[in-house]
């Protein structure tokens, strides 16, 4: 299983990123917590449809689960259509987020929890 965690830097110690489409990096883990790869999310720079481009990049990297914060309406449709499980409620770091996921502390998401374009605003992070 490949688990992608939204990250503001290219490492597992980087702060976790709450926004989905505008997320700069994704750190991909296996289910044992080993880092498999780091994805530089080129979709974040899209003028429009960043969530869709980001989903495409995750699908191209065969991601099964994504851990993030806020997901817009088009992005959630794209993720669900691609069969990616979405969990929200990131911790302060990437590795902390993965720990929370393993402990079952994150919420599965099947509907959007953010308005479209909301990732374009000032960056906000949820710190538990």
Contacts to other proteins by CB under 8 A: 43, 46-50, 52-53, 55-56, 59-60, 74, 77-78, 81-83
C-beta of 41: minimal distance to other proteins in Å?
13
Q: Which is nearer to other proteins, 45 or 126 (CB)?
A: 45
Smallest separation, CB 56 to other proteins (Å): 5
- 63 burial class (0-12, 13-18, 19+ CB within 10 angstroms)? buried
Nearer of residues 82 and 121 to other proteins, judged by Cβ? 82
d(CA 128, CA 121): 21
Q: Which is nearer to other proteins, 61 or 102 (CB)?
A: 61
CB closer to other proteins out of 8 and 56: 56
Distance of closest approach, residue 93 Cβ to other proteins, in angstroms: 29
The β-bridge partners of 62 are: none
- Report the alpha-carbon distance of residue 96 to residue 125 in Å, rounded: 14
**Min dist. Cβ of residue 19 to other proteins (A):** 16
Q: Count of CB atoms within 10 A of residue 42's CB?
A: 12
In terms of Cβ atoms closer than 10 Å to its own Cβ (0-12, 13-18, 19+), residue 56 is middle
């Amino acid at each position: 299983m490949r688990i992608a965690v939204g990250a503001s830097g290219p490492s597992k110690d980087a702060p976790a990123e709450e926004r989905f489409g505008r997320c700069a990096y994704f750190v991909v883990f296996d289910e044992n917590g080993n880092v498999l790869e780091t994805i530089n999310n080129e979709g974040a720079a899209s003028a429009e449809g960043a969530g869709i481009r980001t989903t495409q990049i995750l699908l191209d990297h065969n991601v099964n689960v994504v851990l993030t914060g806020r997901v817009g309406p088009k992005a959630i449709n794209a993720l669900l259509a691609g069969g990616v499980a979405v969990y929200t409620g990131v911790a302060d770091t990437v590795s902390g987020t993965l720990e929370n996921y393993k402990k079952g502390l994150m919420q599965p998401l099947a509907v959007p929890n953010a308005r479209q374009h909301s990732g374009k605003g000032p960056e906000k992070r949820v710190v538990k």
